[in-house]
Structure 1
Amino acid sequence: MTKPKKELSPGQQAVFGVLGLVQAAFAFLAFWDLAHRDADEVRGPKPAWIPAILVNWIGPASYFLFGIKR
């Protein structure tokens, strides 16, 4: 016997939609910053940050916290 599938309410769908847009914008900003920053201002090789930024929330946050030399 299978369990019935639970569907999200419209409010929950809206919250997940907004979170998805924020996550995509966060990654876009990290990629934009990486592309416009000189290599000597970034910790490690720039190409190594590309796959790291693709990891949902952790990648862009790591780039902004640890990848930029201050």
Structure 2
Amino acid sequence: MSRRWNELTERQRWALGVGSGLQLALLAAALIDLRRRPAAEIRGSKRMWAAIVFVNFAGPLAYFTLARRR
């Protein structure tokens, strides 16, 4: 069931805003790190990871946990 913005409670709007902000922050951090990090320090191709980080929360979290070499 989908609702319109004006049908949401104040608490639901706040939670949606916080969740969206967090998702955008993770996306931005992953893209910035991917751009600055040399290709030799990343498992797989940069192009592949750039596509993966756009998948909700899972993409950036996967990038930070799986893609970066120590």
TM-score, normalised by the number of residues in structure 2: 0.88
Distance of 1:41 and 1:69 partners within structure 2: 5
Residue 65 of structure 1: how far off its partner (Å): 0.3
Distance of 1:24 and 1:46 partners within structure 2: 19
After superposing on structure 2, the runs of 4+ consecutive aligned residues of structure 1 that deviate more than 4 Å are none
Letter in 2 for 1:36: R
Letter in 2 for 1:13: R
Residue 29 of structure 1: how far off its partner (Å): 0.1
Match of 1:32, SS?
helix
TM-score, normalised by the number of residues in structure 1: 0.88
Unpaired segments ≥5 residues, structure 2: none
Residue 44 of structure 1: how far off its partner (Å): 0.5
Residue 27 of structure 1: how far off its partner (Å): 0.5
The aligned length equals 66
Please identify the structure whose Cα radius of gyration is greater. Answer: 1
Unpaired segments ≥5 residues, structure 1: none
Letter in 2 for 1:31: L
